[in-house]
Structure 1
Amino acid sequence: MITVDGVEVWLAPPDGSHVNFTNPQRDIATVTASYCAFGIALTVPVILGPSLYATHYIRGKWHIQHYTIILASILTLASGILTFICLDKGVLGVHVWEMSMDDAIWEKKLILASILLGILGAALARLGLCIIYGKIADALWHRRVIRGAVVPIIVPSIAVWFGLLFACRPVEAIWNLRISTEAHCINSYPFHILHAIVVCLVDLIFIFLTIDITLRLQMPWKTKVVLVGVFSTGLLTLGATVARLAILITGLKKPDTTFALAQITVCLIFEVSFAIICGSLPDFRKFIERFILDVSEISQPIMDRGSGGLALHTIGGTPMNGGPPPSETGYHGSTEVLIAA
């Protein structure tokens, strides 16, 4: 047992470091990133909700990717809540030698649960993207590459999930630091690094395929630029994955693995959130267009009345003179094929 100033700790502080258990030094970058990750996790339902509304009530379509994205958003929100609890308790961003053994065990347990939720959420979100990209792919080799990407998404995720959960014997030693020195444990870092490398490659494949598919479509360049911009949010997912990989590689040389795992959790929340947002933006765009259309239909009778005329519309927005509804002008053709996926 290691004791510092009468407090039981898991690791002894480095030579020359000053320990303050009452007001421990917190890593500002980790704390700031954690708050941002929690904010992004809260933003996901704001975008996903209207997107699902547009899918069900406007398009009248519902596919398996919507179930995967919903599950991924629930897992991500749960992971974000656990991270926020660690922030609220003041243990996130603190080195393990500046907290008591009980606080370290408590943080390790929550961080472990958050990582396990994040890994599942990341796999589900990327599977949803595979389905979406598979529907808009026009070339056979596009579809084959997308189907092949399913394997590197599922297999490494399962390996790292079980490798992390059953890294020690007994299993309790994973979070119970008091018995971790006596337990038989394997190094789970190689699983994490392998998972991060594989999903980086998958994200790169998604980005290149999206650009290639969009450029092949027969539509105005202005529309192509908009679509590339929508799907380029996948770059944010890639950036979060690269950051997670960098933290894992540098964390191999540091004794405080709990500190590095907390940063990995934050990166996972960013990853899943950006992946969900990327998959939800097309239908979210449809929701915004319908909302603007409804607002214009409400204001149109007032404008017509002011100019001496009166235009009557039904509740669905169809003019009673038999003309085509405004919703049937624009947003169709090849753009609709792409966005409706």
Structure 2
Amino acid sequence: MSFPVTDGVETVMPPPPGWKVNFDHPTRDEDVAREAFWITGFELFIATGFLAQRLYTKLFIVKKLQIDDYLLILAYIGAVGAQAVLLQAFRVGLLGTHAWELSVDEYNQSSQMVLATTLTYIPTTILSKLVLCFFYYRLSPVLMYQYAVYLTAFICAGGLGAIWFSVLFACKPISATWDVRLAAEAVCVNSPAIYIVQAALGCITDLMLILLPIPTVMGLRLSVRHKVGLVGMFGIGSVTLVTSVVRLVLLLPGLGNKDQPWALAEGCLWVNVESNLLIMCGSLPTLKLFLNHVAPRLLKDRSKKESSGHAGSSNNYNLRTFGQGSMTPRRKFDTLVDLEHGHFDRSQFRPIETGKTDVTVHGGQADRVSVNSHIRGDTDSEEAILQVRTTTVAFSKR
């Protein structure tokens, strides 16, 4: 396959008429390259902080690592790897530079780095979405809901996994995927269509993950404020949906363009943005528990203030049964992580002191039992759980 020659250098395409080619100092999209470093550095710092708080919460508060924690760590490693490859491509000028100012070998190297980023980014996407599926699965034991989680996980892992193999084996021989010298003799599938399906499937799975937990959250016995907060937390995942759409819009024109090192630069920048957002979304479920631990006053529940305000002013112990109605809402779990992991120090929910209970049976009559009990401790607060014991007294005739 022959290539046009400019100043003695083979290039994939000739320069436009009147363009003065300078291979030593080519024209570069400096704005996109600068944004790539600043945005990636800032977002990666935040994503690392989010992951650190999740691991801290699991190791020192919940004191239990689960499979989704390890999956998120692997996703983070993949995200860092994908971003490092793209930043290196921007640094050496293999992205954000016109194809007619790159030699054929440099053009091949640019294609190889973009391919490596894609093959690293897809597993990162799969793992981060499986992390959310594991979290959603623990929210409810309802069978139909869990089947929906299974279906979502299957589409995420199966669909994106199939795309990963399609990208890797897009051409025969495989090296023709990035080597334009082999393009004439190679047999290749429609690569732009694969990338379009990848971006579209990413949008679909993002939407599924946003909508999946909402019916379950709305059915929980939580205050409206808590429900809105949880729905808002899941809605943050819509940010990745937006970035997927933006990346799809930016990549579509560049996929069929021979000047790909220039045309794909801005779209590759959004790959870095989305990679970090995936790590942040995967770390969100533990954020409130972490904040309650390190800064309890920041998220102090109003019910605690109300109960503490009445604790010292009244001696009337408003003991309630589970079926009894009340004008004040029952105390709820602070986070879904509490519910998920069963992380409770149940001893703190017992009364500080439980007095002695005397049961006196009068005259052998089974229908007259008097109970004299005195209970002290945290009875005004809704965090107090009183233990109820049932004593059965059997009578026999002498």
Per the shorter chain, which TM-score range? 0.7 to 0.9
The TM-score, its normalising length taken from structure 1, stands at: 0.79
Matched, 1:132 2:135: yes
1:333 is matched with which residue? 332
RMSD: 2.7
In the aligned structure 1, how far is the partner of 2:56 from the partner of 2:296?
A: 16
Q: 1:131 to 1:197 in 2, by over 3 A?
A: same
Residues 284 and 18 of structure 1, relative CA distance in 2, 3 Å threshold: farther
Q: Which runs of 5+ in 2 are unaligned?
A: 299-330, 341-398
Return the offset for 1:207: 1.3
Change in Cα spacing, 1:334 to 1:138, as seen in structure 2 (3 Å) is: farther
Q: Which one of 223, 247, 251 corresponds to residue 244 of structure 1?
A: 247
CA distance in 2, matches of 1:285, 1:253: 45
Query: 1:302 corresponds to which residue?
Result: none
In structure 1, what is the equivalent of residue 9 of structure 2? 7
Q: Is the CA contact 2:78–2:124 (under 8 Å) kept in the aligned structure 1?
A: yes
Distance 2:219 2:15 in 1: 58
- Residue of structure 2 equivalent to 1:94: 97
Q: Please, which of 41, 54, 57 is the counterpart of residue 54 of structure 1?
A: 57
Q: Give the counterpart of 1:194 among 193, 197, 206.
A: 197
The one of the two structures with greater contact order (alpha-carbon pairs below 8 A, sep at least 6) is 1
Choose the corresponding residue for 1:70, options 70, 73, 92: 73
Q: Which residue of the other structure, out of 260, 264, 278, is the alignment partner of 2:281?
A: 278
- Partner amino acid, structure 2, of 1:333: K
- Indicate whether 1:84 and 2:87 are aligned: yes
Q: Secondary structure in 2 aligned to 1:255?
A: coil
Greater Rg over alpha carbons, structure: 2
Please say which of residues 226-235 and 119-128 is displaced more in the overlay.
226-235
Tell me how many residue pairs correspond in the alignment: 305
The equivalent residue for 2:271 is 268
Write the distance in 2 (CA, Å) between the matches of 1:128 and 1:64.
8
Q: 2:163 aligns with which of 150, 160, 165?
A: 160
- Give the helix-richer structure, 1 or 2: 1
Q: Could you tell me which of 206, 210, 217 is aligned with 1:214?
A: 217
Aligned partner of 2:295 among 289, 292, 307: 292
SS at match of 2:138: helix
AA matched with 1:24: P
Aligned pair in 2 of structure 1 residues 292, 148: CA closer, same or farther (>3 Å)? Answer: same
1:23 counterpart letter in structure 2:
H
Per-residue deviation at 1:93? 1.6
What SS does the aligned partner of 1:136 have?
Answer: coil
Residue 293 (structure 1) shift? 4.6
- Residues 137 and 143 in structure 1, CA contact (< 8 A), matched pair in contact too: yes
Q: Which residue in the other structure is 1:24 paired with?
A: 26
Identity level (%): 31
Indicate whether 1:115 and 2:114 are aligned.
Answer: no
Tell whether the 8 Å contact from 2:237 to 2:281 is kept in structure 1 after alignment: yes
Write the distance in 1 (CA, Å) between the matches of 2:90 and 2:247. Answer: 19
Tell me the distance in 1 between the aligned counterparts of 2:83 and 2:160. Answer: 19
Measured in 2, the distance between the counterparts of 1:212 and 1:13 equals: 57
* Pair 112,17 (structure 1): closer, same or farther in 2 beyond 3 Å: same
Secondary structure of residue in 1 paired with 2:152: helix
Seen in structure 2, the aligned counterparts of structure 1 residues 59 and 122 have a Cα distance that, compared at 3 Å, is: same
- In 2, Cα distance between the equivalents of 1:52 and 1:273? 16
Distance 1:127 1:133 in 2: 10
